[in-house]
Amino acid sequence: MSIIYDEVRAFALALPLVADGTSYGYPCLKANGKFLTRLKEDGDTLVLPGVPFDEREMLVEAAPEVFYVTDHYRNYPIVLARLSAVEAGTVKRLLERQWRACVPKKVLKAHDERGGAPISG
């Protein structure tokens, strides 16, 4: 089951301190002013930061039709995901993890106390 950018955007904007932005002239989302994700030029690829190299290697190896990396991102903890092939829950988990790394701890605590616990599938 795939996901479209509008669904990614809606999920992310429901999280505290997330706002629309642009990156390299393309839509992006920022959390607390920090880069959360962006849509690449092809309109089908999502840039997902905060993915450690070992996890990225595992994702690419397990599902090369979904996940990949280009030379530009090779030295950064980033994985690229094809929206037309990735499961919505996977994108949401990766985005939420990066969001948690970008926002203040007091925001996380308030979010979790309100029942905004980590999503599943």
pLDDT tens for each residue of 42-57: 999 999 999 999 999 9
- 43 backbone φψ class: left, alpha, beta (φ>0; ψ -120 to 50): left
> How far from chain centre, in Å, is Cα 48?
4
N- to C-terminal Cα separation, the chain:
11
How does residue 30 score in pLDDT terms, banded at 50, 70 and 90? very high
pTM: 0.89
Helix (H) or strand (E) holding 60: helix 53-62
User: What is the mean pLDDT of the segment spanning 16-43?
Assistant: 93
Q: What is the dihedral of CA 8, 96, 86, 43, to 10 degrees?
A: 40
Task: Quick: pLDDT tens for 73-93.
Answer: 999 999 999 999 999 999 999
What CATH number is attached to the domain comprising 55? 3.90.1150.30
Tell me, yes or no, whether 94 lies in a domain.
yes
Tell me, yes or no, whether 121 lies in a domain.
no
How does residue 118 score in pLDDT terms, banded at 50, 70 and 90? low
Number of domains in the chain: 1
Pick the more confident residue, 117 or 79.
Answer: 79
Tell me, yes or no, whether 120 lies in a domain.
no
Tell me, yes or no, whether 118 lies in a domain.
no
Statement: residue 99 has pLDDT above 90: yes
> How far from chain centre, in Å, is Cα 97?
8
The residue segments making up the domain with residue 12 are 5-113
Statement: residue 1 has pLDDT above 80: no
Q: What is the dihedral of CA 117, 119, 120, 121, to 10 degrees?
A: 170
User: What is the mean pLDDT of the segment spanning 59-81?
Assistant: 97
Tell me, yes or no, whether 76 lies in a domain.
yes
Q: Decide: residue 87, CB within 10 A, 0-12 exposed, 13-18 middle, 19+ buried.
A: middle
Statement: residue 17 has pLDDT above 80: yes
Helix, strand, coil percent content, the chain, rounded in steps of 5: 40, 25, 35
Tell me, yes or no, whether 66 lies in a domain.
yes
The per-residue pLDDT of the chain, averaged, comes to 92
